[in-house]
Amino acid sequence: MSAAVVLNGILLGGLYGMSAMGLSLVFGVLRLVNMAHGAMLVLGAYLAVLITAGTPLPLPVAGACAVLLAGGLGYVLQRHLLTAMLVRGANGPLVATFGLSLIASGLVALRFGSDPVSIPTALGTAGWSLWGLDVRAAYAVSFALAGVVAVALHLTLSRTRLGAAVRAAAADPRTADLIGIDVRTLYALVFAVASALAALAGLLVGVAFSVSPQSGTSYLLIAMAVVVLGGIGNVLGTFAGAILLGVVQTLAAAQFGGGYRDLVVYILFFVVLAVLPRGLFGRRLT
C-alpha cells in the first residue's frame, strides 16, 4: 500500500517540479520573486484552450503555440518593464508582478468566467501499470518531461557559453555587463524560458486536473515551497525538492488525512528554510 503512495508522490512531484522550474530560474538568476508565475501557468492552459477552440490546430500544436506565446510575452515583459525596476530594489518587481497576475486573472475571468477549464485529452484519463502499481499516465509524462527539462537546463547552465554568461549575470550583473555580456537580453531570455516552462506546467495541470482563473495562487505557493526545498536557482535541486514535496504530501495525506496535507508541507517548508536556508541541495547556480 505505501509503495503505491510513495510512487504516486514521486510522480506527482514531477508535475510540481515542472511548475517550480521557472520560478527557481528567475529567482536564482534575476533575484526576482515572480508573483506572476502562477498566473502565467494558468494563462498557458487557457491559451491552449483558446487556440484549440479558435483554430483547426490539433491540441499538441496548440499547446506548443501557447508555450511559445507565453515565452514571447515573458521576454517582452522582462525586457521592457521588469528589468528597469530590478535595478531599484526588490519591492518594485514584487508589486509589478503581483499587478501583472491580477491583470492576467482578470482577463481570463472576463473571457472565460469563473468556471474551471479542463484540457480534454486521452492522456488526462489514461492509466499505466508500473511495477504492478497503478499510476496516472499524465503524472508519469509530467515526471519524465520535468526530468528532461531539469537535466537540459542544468547542462545548458553548466556546460555552454550561454550558461556561463547566465551564471556570470546571476553572480554579479554589473561586472558581467562590463565584460560585454548583454545582461538585459539575458535577463529577458531567462524570463522567457521561465514563462514558457510555467505555461507548459499549466498545460499539464489542465490535462491532469483542471484550471480556473484562481488556481494560480496555489501553484505559486507550491512552487515557492519547492524552490526553497531544492535551493534557489538550482534546477536539479528543484526537481529533487519537488519529488520530496510530492512524497511528503501524499504520505501525510495517507497517514493523517488530507486535511493535514498542507500543514505538513508548510511546516516542512518553514523548517527547511529556518535550518537550511540554502535549501536541501544548496544554491548551485552562482
Partner 1 sequence: MNRTAILTALLPALLLTAACGAGAGQDADAPVVLGASLSLTGPLGTIGRPQQAGLERLVADVNARGGVQVGGVRRELALRVLDNRSEAAAAGQQASELILKDSAAALVGGCTPPINTPIAQIAEKNRVPLVTSCFPLGAFRDAAPAGGWTYAWDFHFEETEQARVLVEAAGLAGAAKKAALFTDNEVDGVIQRKLFRDAAVKAGYEIVGDYTFPVGQSDFSSFVNDAKRAGAEVVLGQMIPPDGIALVKQMKSLSYTPKVIGIAKAADTASWLDGLGELADNTVHNGFWVPDRARPATAAFLKAMEGRFADTASLGIAAAAYSVGEVVADALARAGSTDPEKLNEAIGATKGAFVFAEVAFGPDHTSPTPVTAEQWQDGVTRQVFPAVEGVTLRTPPLGLE
Partner 2 sequence: MTIPLRTPDGRWRLWPGLALIAALAAGAAAASGALGRYELNVLTTMLCYLVLAQAWNILAGYGGLISLGVSAFAGGGAYCVALLASHTGAGLPLTLGAAPLLGALAALALSVPLLRLRGDYFTIGTLAAALALQAWVYNWDFAGGSVGLSVPIARSPDLAQTYLLACGAATLAVGAAYWTAYSTFGMRLRAVRDNEEAAAGLGVPTVRYRLAAFVLCGALSGLAGGLIAYQQIAFEPGGMLGPGWSINALLMCVVGGVGTVAGPVVGTLVVYYLLTTLLAGYDAVSLVVEGLLLVLIVRFAPQGIWPLATRYAGTLLVRMRRTA
* Binding of partner 2 by 171 (CB under 8 A): no
3-state secondary structure the chain: CHHHHHHHHHHHHHHHHHHHHHHHHHHHHHCCCCCCHHHHHHHHHHHHHHHHHHCCCCHHHHHHHHHHHHHHHHHHHHHHHHHHHHCCCCHHHHHHHHHHHHHHHHHHHHHHCCCCECCCCHHHHCEEEECCEEEEHHHHHHHHHHHHHHHHHHHHHHHCHHHHHHHHHHHCHHHHHHCCCCHHHHHHHHHHHHHHHHHHHHHHHHHHCCECCCCHHHHHHHHHHHHHHHCCCCHHHHHHHHHHHHHHHHHHHHHHCHHHHHHHHHHHHHHHHHHCCCCCCCCCCC
30-89 positions binding partner 2, by CB under 8 A: 31, 33, 81, 84-85, 88
Which of 154, 32, 50 is closest to 100 using CA atoms? 32
Choosing from 57, 221, 251, 254, the residue that interacts with partner 2 (CB under 8 A) is 221
Give the interface segment with partner 1, choosing from 62-70, 121-129, 150-158, 175-183 (CB under 8 A): 121-129
Number of residues near partner 1 (by CB under 8 A): 42
Give the interface segment with partner 1, choosing from 92-100, 170-178, 210-218, 235-243 (CB under 8 A): 210-218
**Angle in degrees, 0-180, between the axes of helices 37-54 and 2-30, rounded to the nearest 10:** 100
Query: Residue 40 or 138: which CB sits closer to partner 1?
Result: 138
Query: Residue 6 or 273: which CB sits closer to partner 2?
Result: 273
Q: Provide the minimum distance between the beta carbon of 263 and partner 2 in the complex, in angstroms, as a whole number.
A: 4
Q: Provide the minimum distance between the beta carbon of 182 and partner 1 in the complex, in angstroms, as a whole number.
A: 39
Cell numbers 483542471 correspond to 210
254-273 positions binding partner 1, by CB under 8 A: 254, 257-259, 261-262
Number of residues near partner 2 (by CB under 8 A): 45
Query: Residue 60 or 116: which CB sits closer to partner 1?
Result: 116
225-244 positions binding partner 2, by CB under 8 A: 225, 228, 232
Q: Which residues bind partner 1 (CB under 8 A)?
A: 1, 4-5, 8-9, 12, 109, 113-118, 120, 124-127, 134-139, 205, 208-212, 214-215, 218, 249-250, 253-254, 257-259, 261-262
Q: Which residues bind partner 2 (CB under 8 A)?
A: 27, 31, 33, 81, 84-85, 88, 90-96, 98-107, 109-110, 217, 221, 224-225, 228, 232, 259-260, 262-263, 265-267, 269-270, 273-275, 277
